[in-house]
Chains A and B, each alone.
Chain A
Amino acid sequence: MSETIPTGKHFVHGDWACAEGAIAAGCGYFAAYPITPATEISEHIASRFPQLGRRFVQFEDEIGAIASVIGASFSGMKAMTATSGPGISLMLENIGLAVMTEVPCVIVNVMRGGPSTGQPTMGAQADVMQCRWGAHGDVEIIALAPQSVQECFDLTVHAFNLSEEYRTPVFLLSDANIGHMFEKLEIPAADEIEIVNRKKPQVFPPDYKPYEADESMVPPMACFGEGYRFYSTGLTHNEMGYPDMSVETQDKLVRRLCDKIRRNKKKINMTEETMTEDCDVLVVTYGVTARSAASAVQMARREGIKAGLLRLITLWPFPDWKIEELADNVKGVVVPEMNYGQLVREVERSVKPTPVEFIPKLGENPPSPDEILERIRRLAK
Chain B
Amino acid sequence: MTEQIDYYLEDYLRMDRLPHIWCAGCGLGIILKSYVQALYELEYDLDKIVTVSGIGCAGRASGYVNTDAFHTTHGRALPFATGISTSNTDIKPVVISGDGDLFAIGGNHLIHAARRNINMLVICSNNFNYGMTGAQYGPTTPRDMRTPTSPYGNIENPFNLVSLVSSAGATMVSRWTVFHVNQLKNSIKKGLTKNGFSFIEVLSPCTTGYGRLNKMSPIDMMRDLRDTCKIRKVHPTEATIEPGKEVIIGDFVDIEKPTYADVLDQLTRRSTE
9 more contacts with CB within 8 A, not counting A64-B112, A74-B70, A230-B69, are: A59-B79, A63-B76, A67-B83, A68-B86, A71-B70, A71-B83, A75-B84, A101-B70, A224-B84
Name the segment of B87-95, B133-141, B190-198 touching the other chain: B87-95
Interface pair B73/A67, CB less than 8 Å apart: yes
Q: Does any Cβ of A come within 8 Å of B40's Cβ?
A: no
Nearest Cβ on chain A to B266's Cβ, whole angstroms: 9
Given A70-B80, A76-B87, also A232-B50 (CB < 8 A) = no
- Range of interface residues on B (Cβ < 8 Å): 35 or more
Given A2-B272, A51-B271, A224-B91, also A233-B71 (CB < 8 A) = yes
**Chain B 168-210, CB within 8 Å of chain A: the 1/0 string?**
0000000000000000000000000000000000000000000
Q: Does any Cβ of A come within 8 Å of B68's Cβ?
A: yes
Q: Does any Cβ of A come within 8 Å of B245's Cβ?
A: no
Interface pair B71/A232, CB less than 8 Å apart: yes
Residues of B within 8 A of A (CB): 14, 16-17, 46-48, 50, 52, 62-63, 66-73, 76, 78-84, 86-88, 90-91, 108-109, 112, 264, 267-268, 270-272
**CB-contact partner of A225 in B70, B72, B91, B272, under 8 A:** B91
Interface pair B87/A75, CB less than 8 Å apart: yes
**CB-contact partner of B71 in A63, A68, A231, under 8 A:** A231
11 example contacts (A-B, Cβ-Cβ < 8 A) are as follows A29-B83, A55-B264, A57-B82, A63-B76, A64-B108, A68-B80, A71-B83, A75-B91, A97-B73, A101-B70, A243-B71
Interface pair A63/B79, CB less than 8 Å apart: yes
Nearest Cβ on chain A to B145's Cβ, whole angstroms: 30
Interface pair A68/B46, CB less than 8 Å apart: no
Q: How many residues on chain A are close to B (CB under 8 Å)? A: 46
**Chain A 221-262, CB within 8 Å of chain B: the 1/0 string?**
000111111111111000000110000000000000000000
Q: Does any Cβ of B come within 8 Å of A42's Cβ?
A: no
Interface centre among B47, B48, B63, B83 (most CB of A within 10 A): B83
Overall SS of chain B's interface:
helix
Task: List A residues 47-75 near B (Cβ within 8 Å).
Answer: 47, 50-51, 53, 55, 57, 59-61, 63-65, 67-75
Interface centre among B78, B80, B81 (most CB of A within 10 A): B80
Contacts of A161 in B (CB 8 A): none
Residues of A within 8 A of B (CB): 2, 28-29, 31, 47, 50-51, 53, 55, 57, 59-61, 63-65, 67-77, 79, 93-94, 97, 101, 224-235, 242-243
Contacts of B108 in A (CB 8 A): 60-61, 64
Nearest Cβ on chain A to B103's Cβ, whole angstroms: 15
Interface pair B83/A231, CB less than 8 Å apart: no
Question: In the complex the two chains form, what is the Cα distance from A28 to B88 in whole Å?
Answer: 11
Question: In the complex the two chains form, what is the Cα distance from A279 to B166 in whole Å?
Answer: 69
Contacts of A31 in B (CB 8 A): 83
Contacts of A228 in B (CB 8 A): 68
Contacts of A229 in B (CB 8 A): 46-47, 66-69
Interface pair A67/B84, CB less than 8 Å apart: no
Given A55-B264, A231-B14, A243-B63, also A71-B84 (CB < 8 A) = yes
Interface pair B76/A64, CB less than 8 Å apart: yes
Interface pair B69/A76, CB less than 8 Å apart: no
Interface pair A50/B84, CB less than 8 Å apart: no
Interface pair B267/A72, CB less than 8 Å apart: no
Interface pair B79/A242, CB less than 8 Å apart: no
Question: In the complex the two chains form, what is the Cα distance from A61 to B106 in whole Å?
Answer: 11
Nearest Cβ on chain A to B75's Cβ, whole angstroms: 8
Question: In the complex the two chains form, what is the Cα distance from A94 to B79 in whole Å?
Answer: 11
Interface centre among B84, B108, B268 (most CB of A within 10 A): B84
Interface pair A67/B72, CB less than 8 Å apart: yes
Closest to B265 in A: A53
Given A76-B88, A77-B87, A225-B47, also A64-B82 (CB < 8 A) = yes
**CB-contact partner of B68 in A73, A230, A235, under 8 A:** A230
Interface centre among A75, A77, A94, A234 (most CB of B within 10 A): A75
Question: In the complex the two chains form, what is the Cα distance from A233 to B54 in whole Å?
Answer: 10
Question: In the complex the two chains form, what is the Cα distance from A63 to B68 in whole Å?
Answer: 23
Question: In the complex the two chains form, what is the Cα distance from A63 to B87 in whole Å?
Answer: 18
Given A55-B264, A64-B109, also A71-B87 (CB < 8 A) = yes
Interface pair B63/A231, CB less than 8 Å apart: yes
Contacts of A231 in B (CB 8 A): 14, 62-63, 68-71
Nearest Cβ on chain B to A139's Cβ, whole angstroms: 15
